[in-house]
A = this chain, B = another copy of it.
């Protein structure tokens, strides 16, 4: 695995942007591995992802911010620097359905997900065994009608304690509070079992079956304070037939949920996702 840095930039679209960034990197002898950019003309916005090899890069990374600041200021950039050597710390929230959890853990074990998983948080005991199989601490925080605030406080204490950068809701069946969503803005990824914006809210497979759609879908998105409305990272669909019952849809949907969620998580961890407005750009 290469030791790389990735720069994610968004700013007003101006001439000379690419030249300025490329010159800066060339000055320090960067070997660019990937570069991708996008201009949104309607929003007058320039978005860029650029990744380079740190081997042979002549700027000490501790000095990067100071060196890059003049360019960033000149163009009014919002920017983030990500280093492959720093593995994000990801918490998984789960309830009783374990298929997304099992899938994420196996991918992590296989090396597909470039992160650490310091803990799993659940409102039920059911998934403890699989967490232990992969050697990951499993915390049960019971959530009921009357203790939502306390439960979230306990969850957030755990997240802070473990230095968590990203939360994945792997079919976690509780709605996060507005305060929680705001505190972890664009840092909570959820999987919804429909092709949003169709069938927002509860029981989407039942409603898809009742409506007689010919495809079912799944959507992974960042959580915002509005339910099932955050910026979409990935979606996919699969064909169904009249022969399939709601239970069949649930079963078939598990494959969609697993794949759509894992793609979104991987892209986030690979620093490929830029949120702007209500939308995402996923650089490939």
A residues with CB within 8 A of B: 15-16, 18-19, 22-23, 25-26, 29-41, 99, 102, 106, 110, 112, 129, 133, 195-199, 210-215, 217, 231-232, 234-237, 241-243, 245, 251, 254-255, 259, 278-282, 284
Contact = CB atoms under 8 A, between A and B. Distances in A.
A47 B95 CA distance: 39
Quickly give the copy total for this chain: 4
Given A211-B279, A237-B237, A242-B281, 15 more contacts: A15-B30, A15-B31, A18-B26, A19-B19, A19-B25, A23-B23, A34-B243, A35-B37, A40-B242, A196-B198, A212-B278, A214-B232, A242-B279, A243-B284, A255-B259
Nearest to A221: B212
Nearest to A31: B15
Contact of A110 (B99, B112, B236): B99
Contacts of A23: 19, 22-23
B232 A212 contact: yes
A39 B235 CA distance: 28
17 contacts: A15-B26, A15-B31, A19-B19, A19-B23, A22-B23, A33-B39, A34-B243, A110-B254, A112-B251, A197-B198, A210-B278, A211-B232, A211-B279, A212-B231, A213-B232, A214-B234, A215-B217
A243 B212 contact: no
A235 B16 CA distance: 37
Contact of A18 (B32, B213, B278): B32
Contacts of A284: 241, 243
A211 B197 contact: yes
Given A31-B15, A35-B18, A243-B38, A235 B255 contact: no
Report, nearest first, the 9 A-B pairs whose CB atoms are least far apart. A212-B279, A19-B22, A198-B198, A19-B26, A18-B22, A214-B235, A242-B281, A22-B22, A16-B26
A278 B211 contact: yes
A243 B42 CA distance: 12
A278 B245 CA distance: 16
